[in-house]
Structure 1
Amino acid sequence: MSLSTLTRRATLLITAALLNACALLPSTAPKAEAPALPPIVFVHGNGDTAALWLTTLWRFESNGWPRERLHAVDMPYPLARDADDKAQPGRSSTADALKFLTAEVDAVLQRTGAKQVVLIGNSRGGYAIRNYIASGNAAKVSHAILGGTPNHGVWSSSSFRPANEFNGAGPFLTRLNNQGGPGIEITPGPKWMTIRSDNNDKFAQADGVWIGAKGTPTNVTAAGPELKGAENVVIPGIDHRETAFGPKAFAAMFRFLTGREPATSAAAAEARVTLSGKISGLGLDNRAGSGNFANNLPLAGASVEVYATDAATGQRLGPALHRQTVGADGRWGPLVTTSKTALEFVISAEGFAVTHIYRTPFARSSEIVNLRAERIADADKDAPAVVTLTRPRGYFGIPRDEIELDGRSPPAGIPPGVAGVSVAKARLADAADRPVPASFNGQRIVGRAWPTAGNHVVLLELHD
């Protein structure tokens, strides 16, 4: 073998050795990092709470959105005033909502270090989002998604509650719908999307039946939630709340934000689940005959007990998993459980009924398992026991849905046609301790009867 051949072979061997050695060393070259997913701020609707976003957050998490970049606000006084320009105890104005949302967005931007947020709202929450963006904050928002927001009013009239924020002819919506230039109803800058039903939204109806004015034209249509200049999505059959909280609405949101289909519209179960939230109580409206009204103020001094239950009977399985008296912030928890454990929450507070809330297993952890202490309704005080099936994230519709409560299908009190009520009650003939089953479109939940005479309120709460 020639000297030149040996030299070439040696050079090749040395080069190969050096390349192998370099492969074992940490790379000093900069790596391209995928852009961080933007933080999302969720804004609930009139009279609602942050807790309504629970399953939506689960869906985003199950598709890779970091939990720490999902933030649901809880407005202290979620109900709108009768007249936006006149103070009303326990109610909030559009200016109040703007101030609150401004503080929440600023806090999220500071905590995450992001320059922009995504804003997603349901119903009245969309008003707060539009007002926030129109008030000089467009640069802080990349996308705005409005589910079921009555952008042209629940009604449009110069004579019926003319100063109410839900009046399409009122000053608030007139301003918002005329600030984008001819043919444009959005603030330039963010990407906009609306989601609406084809004809099943109770607050986008031509007749005033759902605002207590049956037979009176509202002067709005099913297309009322749409905005000129936005991407307007129509999902057949969904109801007012499903425009934001339903799986089809989630899929539309995810596509709009990412340009691709979600891997799943379900919640991927976690084996170990940690739950916490806030306890609040229904306030008392001082106006004669108006009864209770909703607020999200903490109910300091309330106590909560949480029990594992038999999913088939609602019977408690042993002692309480968690017991706590809440402080000034109303926060309860954390409770560590599993995604296979059905639960009964029991809230006790001075001036309220002992409130039993039965829930099917929580698929994932959540910090917005908010609980409200209730009072016995006047109409129910003469019943031995009353059990209420409640669907916070949607409405019941006949014949759209299959609903059964304590053997009756459909339960009393659900009108046919447009889906418009979220509760169904069973007045029991006695107060015997027994299972009370309910089902909704294939979901099953079972609670127990508790006597009204003992100041007990019983709720079977659906997750969907």
Structure 2
Amino acid sequence: MKNFGGAGKVASMVLAGCVHHGVYANPQERIGSEYNGAGLFLTALNTSPEVPEGLAVTVLRSDRFDLYAQPDGRFLGRPEQATGVSYDAPELDGAQTIILEGADHRETATSPDAFIAMYSALAGTPPTRLDIQPEEQPQVSGEISGFANGAPTNLPLAGARLDVFAVDPQTGERRGDPVYSQTVGTDGRYGPFAAGPGQPYEFVIAADGHPLTRIYRSPFPRSTTLANLRLLPPPAVAVAGEIVAMMRPRGYFGIDDNATLDAVPIAGRPAGEPVPSVWQAAIAVPGDTAQSVAGGFDGEVITARTTPDDPDDVAWIALTD
């Protein structure tokens, strides 16, 4: 936008939870980091004017619950050390700022309040509804990507094999043979397949160099080309058994959130820490008999199924909310 003439191609822009002034600001350390508000990159980017002239820009930020806009460095591995930034670090001079109370870092872009703010900024009027208009037969597609060196690559996982099963919403058991199967090409894209209304699914991905991964998802109310399947390293657990994990890609789990896995409040949320920073949880399920494991958050409940005949696979419950 600022460095390569993009402003002339954009009518308006909404920025959600961005680290415009860094997650820390220190002119004496790591000045080459793009996350250093006093570093070379952000210092140049923030030279006046911070917002290109004539461009309508809206900034969405949390009031104080964004873990990347904190005056204390505890989320950077430096507790009780000042970061040099504060809750207002995402703001830009010349932009309209909308503060979303109670939003975590991801919810500045994914919460209902964020949607209202985005829609209003771009359309000039509030949305007439918040609920998704259901479709009779949604068409679902997306991209499969993998991981390397313990971290996601966000790159297409060519040659991955995908099988999609309709499952019982109460038990997670498969309802017959796969409803869709495909070996993806170099672009990693799968689909589309016709999803049944109200039907949850299990996505089974087999790929070289990755554990067999089974991802359980809620029903799809509408068509999407962005039902991406990101393979992740198996979570570490302290006891033996088949791993069942739960993730919240659209946000984090706070200490006050009703988040459970196998009917137990999820672990890993630091006691007394009001800023949500945990988005994954995992348990190990022992035994030689297949079991149903339910994960839930904010009213959404998804049930996975263990597969003792293949104890090295990893089951993920992928929350929508």
TM-score class, shorter-chain normalisation, is over 0.9
Contact 1:381 1:452 in 2 (8 A): no
Tell me how far apart the structure 2 counterparts of residues 438 and 404 of structure 1 sit (CA, whole Å).
Answer: 6
Query: How far 1:278 sits from its partner (Å)?
Result: 1.1
TM-score, reference length from structure 2: 0.95
Matches within 5 A, 1:105-254: 132-180=1-49, 185-254=50-119
Query: How far 1:382 sits from its partner (Å)?
Result: 5.7
Size of the alignment, in residue pairs?
A: 319
Query: How far 1:430 sits from its partner (Å)?
Result: 3.1
Tell me how far apart the structure 2 counterparts of residues 453 and 202 of structure 1 sit (CA, whole Å).
Answer: 38
| Residue of structure 2 equivalent to 1:308 | 166
Query: How far 1:135 sits from its partner (Å)?
Result: 2.3
Write 1 or 2 for the structure with the bigger share of strand: 2
Query: How far 1:436 sits from its partner (Å)?
Result: 0.3
Tell me how far apart the structure 1 counterparts of residues 96 and 188 of structure 2 sit (CA, whole Å).
Answer: 39
The question of 1:336 aligning with 2:194 is answered yes
Runs (5+) with no aligned partner, structure 1: 1-131, 285-291
Q: Deviations over 1:175-224 (max 9, x none)?
A: 121131xxxx2111220010001011000011111111112110111111
| Residue of structure 1 equivalent to 2:229 | 371
| Residue of structure 1 equivalent to 2:262 | 406
TM-score, reference length from structure 1: 0.66
What residue identity is the alignment partner of 2:165? Y
| Residue of structure 1 equivalent to 2:251 | 394
What residue identity is the alignment partner of 2:124? G
Tell me how far apart the structure 2 counterparts of residues 452 and 295 of structure 1 sit (CA, whole Å).
Answer: 29
Write 1 or 2 for the structure with the bigger share of helix: 1
What residue identity is the alignment partner of 1:359? R
Match of residue 272, structure 1, among 122, 128, 137: 137
Q: Percent identity?
A: 40
Tell me how far apart the structure 2 counterparts of residues 157 and 375 of structure 1 sit (CA, whole Å).
Answer: 33
Counterparts in 2 of 1:403 and 1:381: CA distance versus 1, 3 Å:
closer
| Residue of structure 2 equivalent to 1:419 | 276
Counterparts in 2 of 1:354 and 1:316: CA distance versus 1, 3 Å:
same
Counterparts in 2 of 1:450 and 1:414: CA distance versus 1, 3 Å:
farther
The question of 1:436 aligning with 2:293 is answered yes
Q: Deviations over 1:19-60 (max 9, x none)?
A: xxxxxxxxxxxxxxxxxxxxxxxxxxxxxxxxxxxxxxxxxx
| Residue of structure 2 equivalent to 1:350 | 208
Contact 1:272 1:337 in 2 (8 A): yes
Query: How far 1:438 sits from its partner (Å)?
Result: 1.4
Counterpart of 1:257 in 2: which secondary structure?
Answer: helix
Query: How far 1:158 sits from its partner (Å)?
Result: 2.0
Contact 1:413 1:425 in 2 (8 A): no
Tell me how far apart the structure 2 counterparts of residues 144 and 325 of structure 1 sit (CA, whole Å).
Answer: 38
